[in-house]
Chain A
Amino acid sequence: MLKQISQLHSLRGWIATLSLLGIAIVVIPSLNIFLPQESFFHVPDYIVSLFGKYLCYAMVALAVDLIWGYTGILSLGHGVFFSIGGYAMGMYLMRSIGKEGVYKSDLPDFMVFLDWKELPWYWYGFDNFSFTLLVILILPGLFAFIFGFFAFRSRIKGVYFAIITQAMTFALMLLFFRNNTGFGGNNGLTDFKRILGYSLHEPSTKMGLYVITATLLFLSYVLCRYVVKSKLGRVLTAIRDAESRVMFSGYNTLHYKLFVWTLSACLCGIAGALYVPQVGIINPSEMQPSNSIEMAIWVAVGGRASLGGAFLGAGVVNGAKSWFTVAAPDYWLYFLGSLFIVVTLYFPKGLIGIFTRFSPAEKTKEISR
């Protein structure tokens, strides 16, 4: 097993990956904790939470890359899985507020506001953290499995599949916007106080969440790398390039697609669950079709069929977003729109393609095709 994992990268690759991990979970926290605030190298708290957010996005980008970059299935509905994970975590956080809400009631504030007398059945169990973890791990995957089963079975693919997933996220967004659905309606879930007894307002808790996110991101990266390097991964790439031929060769593509689709949804759900305590809110706007499309553009910008590209894309696009929305909010949509156009027109391999274009190994590959 260990040997298999060690073969996922060349030695240079492992050094690069592990040093990135080192920077994320050792260097940045040390710079934050041990350096005095006035030091030039000090990393302020808000940067740490910003990085935590980006790492969650990077995990989403991994998931989207797995399904789109490697298997060629464009999903415009990954925001749903992200939100399911996020809402599950949000429900736990709501329950752990206890009676410290505005209305001093055992029920979450919005339920008191709506004059509900008791907890709806689907809120049961969310007082318990391990139950919540179970839901986060299972529910997005289960939902994706059912949806994917029906979609892939009738061989919906290409743009049809993209549109259907977009309709799915749109429908769920409408559903969650309703107050009666029981998830806080328009405002979603917010005003969290603590997680597992640690106050969410403490810098140390935020740092802890950040480190956990970075570690889980690393683990998911290894998992994805393992999947795409395995024989399974080769079949997935083959499905992307010529699905009919794969079927004629005797593979049941339904199983492969369903597996990778479900795995991708699970990763997305975990990312959502990590995102919510760091950002402090989850609401239905996360399920806006535009959000899911943005997830696809992270991967497109970074480079499809490259896990490193997914990281890069998520970081670059979201970094640009953070900068633009402060510096020039009117022009952010122009930038994002042009990014969509320019990347698809001129950089089909994304940013990572610019780097690899000059590497000798890639050049020979190019020729041999």
Chain B
Amino acid sequence: MKCPLPGAPITSGHMFKNKRLHLLFFLSLLCFSFGAFSPSSPALAGELENSITDLGNKSRTEIKKATRALGTLGNVAALPALEALRDGQLRVDESGRVVILGTTNTQAQDAITGDTLSVEDLSLRKPRINNSVRRVLALAIAKLKLNAGDADIRLAAAEELLNRSSDSVLDLVRHALTKEKDSRVVEKLTLVLAKAQLQGDDLEERLQAIETIRNFGDSSFRPDLEGLLQSETAAVKAAAIKAITSIDQRQFFINQIANLFYGLSLGSILLLAALGLAITFGLMGVINMAHGEMLMIGAYSTFVVQNLFKEYLPGLFDYYLVAAIPTAFLVSAIVGIILERSVIRHLYGRPLETLLATWGISLVLIQSVRLIFGAQNVELANPSYLSGGVAVFHGVVLPYSRIAVIFFVIFVVISVWTLLQKTSLGLQVRSVTQNRGMASCMGIATRKVDMWTFGLGSGVAGLGGLALSQVGNVGPELGQMYIVDSFMVVVLGGVGKIAGTVAGALGIGVTSKFLEPVAGAVLGKIIVLVLIIIVIQKRPQGLFALKGRVADN
């Protein structure tokens, strides 16, 4: 750790390994803190010291009192001691001197002067605290943090206050608001203020507070507003009802957005799973039941790459996904090509038999993976840049991994589209899809095209497995869970056109996610299946059928 800069996060006492650092830190706090009260005033400084000393008191009531006093005082200097008390690192020696234990537990610092002491010379007692003290502590710490230099810490403190709102903070928050410049913190603090004012006496202030909450529109305030419905004042009651309606509408809207997002996310995964299937089915008229296992192989390739990175390149661990992309593609593609060469090629023109043979292949692949990796799910870690998520609204967090998957799918679809539309292999694939006999007459080596296309389709499925590994479980039955759904996508979207697969996948994904909250997951799935069967009634060749005079079979 280098010299803590003014903006560096303030965490707990153990950061101060030696005295110099501590002093530097202390100075920086003095210079940059937004502290309302300067510790240079001797009387108040005395109060600070007394209160810190009282933190080591034997009586919990005294500790609470001291904590409250420190909170009201608003001096950041007390923060290390308070946090140490919360984390169980605060000790008291026989003379009543309060010290903070270092991380190693061999050294300690005087909570007031900051002198480094050796623990061995002292006989230390740990102040006892309970949940009631912890609550008071959290509030006091949050209050103090409002004066911190780092906007993120202030934000977290404001969040903390919002959850533990009490009247005692009002003045403090008002005061902090006058100085606050960071808009996020201002928003939070305004809410803290509004929440506290809801129960106040001033009618004007209460209405104003309801208005503030209504504009913010977060459903976590619903209980507070519902409490106001019992209010005698008609104006407050009316405003509360209005605010609740507004919040509910907003919540409904947010839910729809979340459904849409998760639907797109599900749809994009289905799309990756179904894309290869649609290409090979369109080209060769065979359904590859082992296609789901290509997903599984892609996911397990990612798993192996991850483990190799963990073992040999731990420093570059975050980049294992980048290395896994070509690996997953190639491994699945090679397995696919082997399948095509060894089995599927011999079954040309017998689609139903192919279906059974590839089912057999899938059984063999599943059992092999089970024997190699075990029947349990394997653990895949998200790289650091894909963990966490972005909060678009309060309470709706869109995970980065899912967002990344959506972009990844867009990238893959564009690549496949380019490959099919702009390259000579693509031209050959399209011609074989439209009319195999004629393409063959024109000198296209249809069997070679079959092989490469099968490799491409399997490779895309492998990429699907990679994407899945970031958002779901990876186990031997991974492919089985997606195979029925990806067939549905192909049946719905029709074959031979990427647009059909995209429409089918996103349609099924979004529809199921919108049905799920209404009908439940299982019934939602059944409704989707029934809807597909109805659509097939109207468009037997799928939504996007190839135009042309193609006789049946």
Q: Which residues of A contact B (CB under 8 A)?
A: 68, 72, 74, 150-151, 153-160, 162-164, 166-168, 170-171, 174-175, 177-178, 243-244, 289, 293, 296-297, 300, 330-331, 333-334, 336-341, 344-345, 348
Given the interface contacts A159-B352, A341-B361, does A177 sit within 8 Å of B522 by beta carbon? Answer: yes
- Contact stretch, chosen from B114-122, B245-253, B362-370: B362-370
Least CB distance, B344 to chain A, in whole angstroms: 10
Q: Are B487 and A163 interface neighbours, CB within 8 A?
A: yes
Q: Are A297 and B356 interface neighbours, CB within 8 A?
A: yes
5 smallest beta-carbon distances between A and B, as pairs: A340-B360, A337-B363, A337-B364, A333-B367, A337-B360
- Apart from A160-B491, A164-B536, A171-B529, what 19 extra A-B contacts exist at CB < 8 Å? A150-B533, A154-B540, A159-B286, A159-B355, A160-B536, A160-B540, A163-B287, A163-B490, A164-B533, A167-B533, A171-B526, A175-B526, A333-B363, A337-B361, A340-B360, A340-B361, A345-B343, A348-B350, A348-B353
Bound-state Cα–Cα, A150 to B530, Å? 11
Among candidates A72, A289, A331, A336, residue contacting B360 with C-beta atoms closer than 8 Å? A336
Q: Are A167 and B356 interface neighbours, CB within 8 A?
A: no
From 527 to 553 in chain B, residues with beta carbon under 8 angstroms from any chain A beta carbon are 529-530, 532-533, 536-538, 540, 551-553
Given the interface contacts A168-B529, A171-B526, does A339 sit within 8 Å of B360 by beta carbon? Answer: yes
Which residues on the A side are within 8 Å of B281 (C-beta)?
159
Q: Are B347 and A344 interface neighbours, CB within 8 A?
A: yes
Q: What residue in chain B is nearest A150 (Cβ atoms)?
A: B537
Bound-state Cα–Cα, A300 to B488, Å? 25
Given the interface contacts A159-B352, A177-B522, A330-B367, does A167 sit within 8 Å of B487 by beta carbon? Answer: yes
Q: Which residues of B contact A (CB under 8 A)?
A: 281, 285-287, 343, 346-347, 350-357, 359-364, 366-367, 371, 484, 487-488, 490-491, 522-523, 525-526, 529-530, 532-533, 536-538, 540, 551-553
Q: Are B356 and A171 interface neighbours, CB within 8 A?
A: no
Q: What residue in chain A is nearest B351 (Cβ atoms)?
A: A159
Q: Is the interface of A mostly helix, strand, loop or mixed?
A: helix
Least CB distance, B225 to chain A, in whole angstroms: 35
Bound-state Cα–Cα, A14 to B526, Å? 47
Given the interface contacts A293-B359, A341-B343, does A74 sit within 8 Å of B367 by beta carbon? Answer: no
Least CB distance, B56 to chain A, in whole angstroms: 55
Bound-state Cα–Cα, A102 to B397, Å? 47
CB-defined A-B contacts under 8 Å, sample of 13 = A150-B537, A151-B533, A162-B352, A166-B484, A171-B530, A293-B359, A300-B353, A334-B364, A337-B360, A337-B363, A338-B364, A340-B360, A341-B361
Q: Are A338 and B360 interface neighbours, CB within 8 A?
A: yes
Of B350, B355, B526, B530, most buried by chain A (CB within 10 Å of CB) is B355
Q: Are A344 and B522 interface neighbours, CB within 8 A?
A: no
Q: Are B356 and A340 interface neighbours, CB within 8 A?
A: yes
Which residues on the B side are within 8 Å of A167 (C-beta)?
484, 487-488, 529, 532-533
Q: Are A154 and B487 interface neighbours, CB within 8 A?
A: no
Least CB distance, A153 to chain B, in whole angstroms: 8
Q: Are A178 and B364 interface neighbours, CB within 8 A?
A: no
Among candidates A154, A178, A296, residue contacting B537 with C-beta atoms closer than 8 Å? A154
Which residues on the B side are within 8 Å of A168 (C-beta)?
529
Least CB distance, A175 to chain B, in whole angstroms: 6
Q: Are A330 and B537 interface neighbours, CB within 8 A?
A: no
Q: Are B367 and A300 interface neighbours, CB within 8 A?
A: no
Q: Are A171 and B367 interface neighbours, CB within 8 A?
A: no
Q: Are A341 and B525 interface neighbours, CB within 8 A?
A: no
Among candidates B343, B536, B553, residue contacting A156 with C-beta atoms closer than 8 Å? B536
Which residues on the B side are within 8 Å of A159 (C-beta)?
281, 285-287, 351-352, 355
Bound-state Cα–Cα, A220 to B553, Å? 33
Q: Are A174 and B540 interface neighbours, CB within 8 A?
A: no
Q: What residue in chain B is nearest A76 (Cβ atoms)?
A: B355
Given the interface contacts A150-B533, A154-B540, A344-B347, does A171 sit within 8 Å of B525 by beta carbon? Answer: yes
Of A159, A178, A336, most buried by chain B (CB within 10 Å of CB) is A159
Q: Are B287 and A300 interface neighbours, CB within 8 A?
A: no
Of A155, A175, A330, A345, most buried by chain B (CB within 10 Å of CB) is A345
Bound-state Cα–Cα, A330 to B551, Å? 46
Q: Are B484 and A289 interface neighbours, CB within 8 A?
A: yes
Q: Are B367 and A334 interface neighbours, CB within 8 A?
A: yes
Q: What residue in chain A is nearest B539 (Cβ atoms)?
A: A154
Bound-state Cα–Cα, A54 to B80, Å? 76
Q: Are A166 and B536 interface neighbours, CB within 8 A?
A: no
Bound-state Cα–Cα, A178 to B523, Å? 10
Among candidates A74, A170, A331, A339, residue contacting B484 with C-beta atoms closer than 8 Å? A170
Among candidates A171, A175, A244, residue contacting B552 with C-beta atoms closer than 8 Å? A244
Which residues on the B side are within 8 Å of A158 (C-beta)?
351-352, 553
Which residues on the A side are within 8 Å of B351 (C-beta)?
158-159
